[in-house]
Structure 1
Amino acid sequence: MPFTDTAEAVRAWVHGWSASRGAAQPALSTWGFTVDVGLPGHVMRHVLPAADEETVHDITQRATAPGVWLKAFVPPETLEPWLAPGWHLAGGPGYLMCVPLAVAPTQAPVPIPAGYRLNTWTRDGVTRALVRTADGVFAARGQIAVTGDTAVVDQVETDPAHQRRGLGNLVMHSLTAAATEQGATAGVLGATPQGRALYERTGWRVLAPLTSALRGPDPTDT
């Protein structure tokens, strides 16, 4: 594993995710991090590297405005009883995953499937990969933020009409190759169960469970 412990990976993930999304610099507290995101359904998020019942209940009891998220590295069945009224689990089970980029299988050449074209660009330390069909229809995308020697993969998505054609693998290769060129030696990301299968095929391994909770309605964009 590229990280010595989960707390180190969480710190890297929080800072890279914030850079990827253009959110505020994470604010450090005794229990973890708070990030101002600034979206109507995602105003801010609290991230707890080592969650416990007392801390989670205290935070969720004090946070009463809608659009506040909480991320904890415990299974859903552990987190749910700790939440104060008005909070609920959101987004389904997740996973914190990591990979040593220098030896990641994704560094092998990945050809662009016939009928598609790939465009990548980097701005402010964030590299984006976009796959479209020959006539310009969206097929897949993803982005990666490099902060020091760590890179955080974010928002990887393949349109259902273009799945099972190797586009996810192409996006992952493009992103991690770009991060390696920028000096990153370790990758970290938060995955859904569906994304986990793709990432494991490209060399990533689960480091810890990742569960989300939300104060208020559950928006479609998490």
Structure 2
Amino acid sequence: MKKEISKDIIEKWLKGWSLSRDLPLPFQYRSGFKVKVGDEKQKIRYVFSELNEDFLQLAESIDEPWVFLKICVPFDDFKDKIPERWQIQPQGYMMSCFHRMKIPDIELHDDYKLEFESYNSTFVVRIMTKNNELASTGRVVIVEKLAIYDRISTENNHKRKGLATFLMKQLEQIALSKGVSQNFLVATEEGKSLYESLDWELYSLYTSIVIPSET
């Protein structure tokens, strides 16, 4: 039985994503959502929770580069229904943890320290070295009782030290302090295993296509 994707959750996630990046908020576009990103390599993004005529018509009508179409279905479901000018991007994974995470009881090594910042309902945690070098960072945005995690990253020379796990623990504590224990994010292939180790589950594939600029 095909899992039904909640359009409401997708909208909340996209709002959190936009707040985290200080972008205009998403708005309804046909049966999906639209964000005016304004970046050179991502002008606009359209996000759909399901494959339908609205998505396919957009794929047919758009011919300018760096406009992204994003959808919660596998690429194989629609690759033969769109023009060849579209290119698949690295697979994304919408992930949910609608309860408290299962995080091991770990402490931050003495070589590191924490920094905090907040803006636009967004809370930023940074793990810094004692020499003020960034080691790991991430954000959590609270959107109507849903905690949206975004831009979780660890610098290459600080990986495999448990920093990302400790970072997620700090971000979750912020969400819990706001009375929020339902969590949502979009993971890369690399990050997916980290979240699974913290008891997150795959909510939906998140497939992106774009027309790259002509070479």
Instruction: Compute the TM-score of the two structures, normalised by the length of structure 2.
Output: 0.90
Aligned residue in 2 for 1:86: 85
**Dislocated runs of 4+, deviation >3 Å:** none
What pairs with 1:99-114 in structure 2 (closer than 5 Å)? 99-101=97-99, 103-106=100-103, 110-114=106-110
Q: Quote the offset at 1:8 in angstroms.
A: 3.2
Contact 2:22–2:120 at 8 Å: present in 1 too?
Answer: no
Q: Quote the offset at 1:66 in angstroms.
A: 1.7
What pairs with 1:127-206 in structure 2 (closer than 5 Å)? 127-206=123-202
The alpha-carbon distance between structure 1 residues 33 and 80, as it changes in their structure 2 partners (threshold 3 A), is: same
The CA distance in 1 between the partners of 2:164 and 2:71, in whole Å, is 27
The CA RMSD measured in Å over matched residues stands at 2.0
**Gapped regions of structure 2 (runs ≥ 5):** none
Does residue 115 of structure 1 match 2:111?
yes
Q: Give the aligned length.
A: 211
3-state SS of paired residue (1:142): strand
The alpha-carbon distance between structure 1 residues 79 and 127, as it changes in their structure 2 partners (threshold 3 A), is: farther
The CA distance in 2 between the partners of 1:139 and 1:15, in whole Å, is 27
Q: Quote the offset at 1:158 in angstroms.
A: 0.8
Please give the per-residue CA displacement for 1:56-108, whole angstroms capped at 9, x wherever unaligned.
33112222222211111112322433332422111x1121101124x2224x6
3-state SS of paired residue (2:76): helix
Aligned residue in 1 for 2:70: 71
Contact 1:97–1:208 at 8 Å: present in 2 too?
Answer: yes
Q: Quote the offset at 1:109 in angstroms.
A: 5.0
3-state SS of paired residue (1:46): strand
Instruction: Compute the TM-score of the two structures, normalised by the length of structure 1.
Output: 0.87
The CA distance in 2 between the partners of 1:155 and 1:211, in whole Å, is 18
The CA distance in 1 between the partners of 2:171 and 2:206, in whole Å, is 22
Aligned residue in 2 for 1:25: 25
**Gapped regions of structure 1 (runs ≥ 5):** none
Contact 2:96–2:201 at 8 Å: present in 1 too?
Answer: yes
The CA distance in 2 between the partners of 1:110 and 1:8, in whole Å, is 34
Share of identical aligned residues, percent? 24
| One-letter amino acid matched to 2:45 | R
Q: Quote the offset at 1:207 in angstroms.
A: 0.9
Q: Quote the offset at 1:5 in angstroms.
A: 4.5
3-state SS of paired residue (2:70): strand
